[in-house]
Structure 1
């Protein structure tokens, strides 16, 4: 049984950790809850014991003969601190050990995930940013907080991500194991996902069947590997990955503008979205009605811009571009042509069609490199495909291209 330590700090978001705890236990993980004294003012010890099915140790003086301040961390496969307050981040960054949770963090040799929750001003304070940078520099994963309603009437960045999203990230870290490196730490990556829609009139649009699942899997995997992730989502209804900054878009032109803007400061741009190749030359102000004699209207189309080619032409030294090629025939031949035209470093090729890939949880792809390499992946879950793509990316990233990940 995988052993997870769930550290809970004294913030109003502590109640959300109950749902996170249940997700771990219901999926077969053994969970030891280690709350701080402040956390117990929000959620009591009986709740943690009942949900975990285990006694809750809260002090280094409890069960001293078992040496809990050393034993708990040593036997953990993963430590997740949610919510992680500004105070806890500061104590962890400076190696303080004045309670059971900070002692556990110092003795743990497994991956550690922090899910911060605090007011915006506290998150953006220079001291907190420095502490986060220190923890990330040590290989710990500090998830970016979400934007939304905070305590009281305040709204901003600092909200604890959805427990299900934290759980998904934690599972990615667990799958990679103790040897998992946050090999994208300090990097800013841009991922596009979904399919664009081009309006015909106020009711109808031209679009495609892209669900956004592969792009969202890429974003989740990048967060789990320590990256700062900008996820540009075109008409996607999936849950937001924990730690990703999501930019919603609708049309191909909106996707182009958002991607060009985000790419200016990115180390890697992954174009997993499916932009519409064409759009109507004119958009009707009112719903297009059927004619009396049943004659169908004639639609004039114009070509949309090639976003990947634009990004490729503007690449900075050390910046990487990953393009996607969704093909219905002659997949590899067409993809090699796109790889050259778009000046991409990698292109991910997959065959698509009715009941093939779109909306599925698995994918079968070939990754072609501009350096002539070819990596064929058998049918895999899209999360595994995402990690395989990031493996290809990280092997090509130049050290001097590293960005400041504290922003």
Structure 2
């Protein structure tokens, strides 16, 4: 039983949503908070004062360790990871890595937000530098609503930065995978954040809308957030469409391990997984080599230690198969062209890798992102330039052309550039993911103090 976690503690409602695993078996019930409870909770968050900065920093460090090691909500770390694997279909080995990654991000939250602060601003108006005309970095509001997508547990590693900045945070968990949000909120509360500092509000669409309206700012990636795409107070997570570019002055065969790893890591479920690979010259040999590597992966249930591929219910997997095969019309299939769903006989199915070759860098398929190892390979030429690489979360570029690198860094719609043989999923705490979250949550303000 996964209760809502309100300002008065756990709250079990009469209206609940079943959480099923990939075979269709019910593994949990999620309490759905009504709009009235959401409204009261948001008022309680607004009335609460933030913890002192030093207390926030130490509480985040404790919460990270609790998330990683403690029994929370009746689940040991191993039981939590098994539950996430069952309902998300992610291989258990990937979930274990995600636990460590999420904990590491949370532990570094306070330091990470300081890196986002402009050099010309200080964090506290009482800082002596304010007397010499230094700006002060201040919150744009007091309450943040978070709607976290359920594609990967690692997505929860970023929103605790809002707590580091003194926000009170209301989290609406994904109904597909609510265990990570539930566990993290419990860890944060046990570490020292009060029940009026961070809450968990599972809810339906009407109450979710009330959650956004009751906050100063909102952040996330579900359909509720996308309804507010034009609202400057809402930060909507966009598809990654991460890509790799290899120019003719490099030998792509030397980087094949990196290319396959970029496609396959996290079972291909993340926004940082490579969606497209572009190569200057003939794309066919590279597409064939990637397909050969991915074809040998076994089809296994997610709890198997050797599993590397994601699993969904047969119904969801078949719907994904129809979508991708329809989208792939006109491309050359190197892997998965006649189907890629491998049923396991228990109501679930493995989404096996797909490799298709497009005939140009402008092919629309290159922007198609799906939550499993599916990659579109295409030729790229100097005439294509940056236009073919726009709207990219992470671009790995393997080239000796420094002018091209500069052009890619200057392109506003490319969020991150990895120069050299760095996998698209590479990241470390302190670096921006899609910009710093602090850039959205904070502003610099002149404070005259003499």
Normalising by structure 2, what TM-score? 0.28
Relative contact order higher in (CA < 8 Å, ≥ 6 apart): 2
Normalising by structure 1, what TM-score? 0.31
